């Protein structure tokens, strides 16, 4: 029994050591990365011009956080410009101390990898498509904004549809000819909304259908109990 007890103690002690070793290794892996050589490169070759005071080319590398490369959207463009300058050997300017070619490539490669990793983890889908109103929405917008009842079919052509819908932004393209139709419609509708002193009186005739029986309510526009007659929107 003593041998079994000693064996259990050894196993327990071994498991404890393994747990401690694993904990230390995890702690070491989670330690913050060091960016000493990157910061030294920037301080030696870049910060003389691109600092918080002079801001040459309208950006600074003096206080940028190297652990946030690619994470700050307002700095991504700056780092991409830095990569281009490093690859082309355009910076530092001629006459100033320059790093070794391998040092150029090392920093450029590190920046490219850092930017690509962030872009792959959080891809930027870009700006959404500017969606125009379809014909029905345009008609309703004119009614709500200008209190005008118009027939959109008189001003605009039918809209393209996708998957059975005509209000999908990717499908609602705006061709030059359609834009011209919108401009013509806007000119006519604005005259109806605010008036035009050059317009002359017009005459619009509404005819009764001879097949309609004048014994009851003729359409939904008439009040209940109405018999005969006609009701139209002008």
Q: What is the pLDDT of residues 10-66, one digit of tens each?
A: 444 443 444 444 444 444 444 456 778 888 888 888 888 888 898 888 888 888 888
Of 62, 60, 65, 71, the closest CA to residue 33 belongs to 65
Cβ pair 118, 110 in contact under 8 A: no
Please name the residues in contact with 98: beta carbons below 8 A apart, sequence gap of 6 or more: 45, 89, 92
> 100-143: per-residue pLDDT in tens?
888 889 999 999 999 998 888 888 777 776 788 899 999 999 99
Domain segments of the chain: what residues? 36-121, 135-194
Cβ pair 185, 144 in contact under 8 A: no
Q: Please indicate, yes or no, whether the overall pTM of this predicted structure exceeds 0.75.
A: no
Of 172, 42, 179, 31, the closest CA to residue 99 belongs to 42
Q: How far is CA 76 from CA 46, 50, 86, 169, 233, in A?
A: 17, 16, 15, 29, 58
């Amino acid at each position: 029994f003593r041998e079994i007890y000693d064996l259990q103690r050894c196993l327990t002690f071994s498991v404890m050591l393994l747990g401690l070793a694993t904990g230390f290794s995890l702690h070491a892996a989670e330690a913050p990365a060091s960016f000493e050589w990157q910061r030294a490169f920037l301080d030696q070759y870049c910060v003389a011009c691109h600092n918080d005071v002079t801001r040459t080319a309208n950006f600074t590398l003096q206080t940028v956080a190297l652990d946030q490369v690619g994470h700050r959207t307002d700095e991504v463009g700056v780092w991409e410009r830095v990569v281009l300058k490093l690859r082309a050997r355009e910076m530092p300017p001629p006459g100033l101390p320059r790093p070794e070619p391998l040092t150029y490539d090392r920093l450029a490669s590190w920046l490219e990898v850092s930017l690509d990793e962030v872009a792959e983890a959080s891809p930027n889908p870009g700006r959404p498509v500017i969606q125009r109103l379809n014909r029905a929405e345009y008609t309703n917008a004119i009614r709500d904004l200008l209190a005008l009842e118009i027939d959109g079919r008189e001003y605009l052509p039918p809209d393209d549809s996708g998957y059975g819908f005509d209000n999908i932004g990717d499908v609602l393209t705006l061709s030059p000819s359609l834009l011209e139709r919108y401009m013509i419609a806007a000119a006519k509708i604005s005259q109806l909304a605010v008036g035009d002193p050059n317009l002359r009186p017009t005459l619009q005739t509404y005819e009764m259908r001879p097949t309609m029986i004048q014994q009851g309510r003729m359409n939904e526009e008439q009040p209940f109990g109405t018999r005969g007659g006609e009701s139209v929107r002008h």
